[in-house]
Amino acid sequence: MTASPAKFMFDIDFGTGAEAKPSIALADHHAKVAEAEAIAYRNGFAAAETEARNVTLQRNAAVLERIAAMLDSAHKRLATIEAQYETEAVEVAVAVAKKLAPALIAREPMTEIAALATDCFRHLVAAPHLVVRVNDGLHDLARGQLEELTRSRGFEGRLVVLAEPGMAPGDCRIEWADGGITRDRAAAQAIIDDAVARYVAGRSSEAATITTTGATP
């Protein structure tokens, strides 16, 4: 029995000697293209969003750095102003005290003397005698007031009030057998002036340190 010849299926392109390339439907092609475009869009959008976020972070960091620098500068200026105001306030207070003290002493010359004497009388009740030296212009007034104080404080010793021409009004010296105490406004004022000068110098140095280094003392 003779075999039937095989049917020609047209799978081979005889013009090129290669198999025919597979093809897809046009709708599938458009779908693939649309999907690729969508993926590319999403990737591009994500990249752009990341870039925008990085730019925003960089800008925010720069703004924060400028704000920090401004705050640091303001802190230094405020510290300098604060130190200046403090030193000026102290200087003004001392100046006012220097102006007021003579006027107060002139009006009430015995106030400080009586206060010092009262304290001494309280601690020296049993002393055999006390010598109080005062300005010669206050001698009579001082003797009368101090004698009254000795009686009211129970002092039993002998009170001697002496006039000292060179002593400033309001100053005095109280002496007893084994000691003494002095109220010298000029000496006290010198101590106060020295303390104020050292305080002002210290605050000025602190302000200069803050200004140059930014370090808070």
Residue spans of the domains in the chain: they are 108-183
User: Tokens for 36?
Assistant: 């690729």
| pLDDT at residue 210 in the model | 60
Stronger pLDDT, 101 or 50, i.e. the higher one: 50
| pLDDT at residue 78 in the model | 76
| pLDDT at residue 69 in the model | 82
| pLDDT at residue 135 in the model | 92
Any idea of the CA torsion for 93, 114, 129, 168, to the nearest 10 degrees?
50
Stronger pLDDT, 94 or 141, i.e. the higher one: 141
CATH code of 108-183, in short, is: 3.90.25
Q: Please check whether residue 146 is in contact with residue 121, taking contact to mean a CB–CB distance below 8 angstroms.
A: no
> Residue 110 to residues 20, 93, 94, 131, 164: CA-CA distances in angstroms?
131, 24, 22, 16, 15
pLDDT at 175 over 80: yes
pLDDT at 163 over 90: yes
pLDDT at 158 over 80: yes
pLDDT, tens digit, for every residue of 13-48? 555 555 555 566 777 666 777 777 778 777 777 777
Any idea of the CA torsion for 10, 11, 12, 14, to the nearest 10 degrees?
20
158: three-class secondary structure by DSSP: strand
Please state, rounded to an integer, the average pLDDT across all residues of the chain: 77
Strands 179-183 and 129-135 turn out to be: unpaired
| pLDDT at residue 131 in the model | 92
Residue 130 φ/ψ region, left for φ over 0, alpha for ψ in the -120 to 50 degree band, beta for the rest = beta
Q: Can you tell me the distance from the alpha carbon of 203 to that of 201, in angstroms, rounded to the nearest whole number? A: 6
What's at 122, amino acid-wise?
R
pLDDT, tens digit, for every residue of 85-125? 777 777 777 777 766 677 777 778 788 888 888 888 777 77
> Residue 145 to residues 39, 52, 67, 116, 118: CA-CA distances in angstroms?
107, 90, 68, 13, 11
Q: Can you tell me the distance from the alpha carbon of 123 to that of 2, in angstroms, rounded to the nearest whole number? A: 156
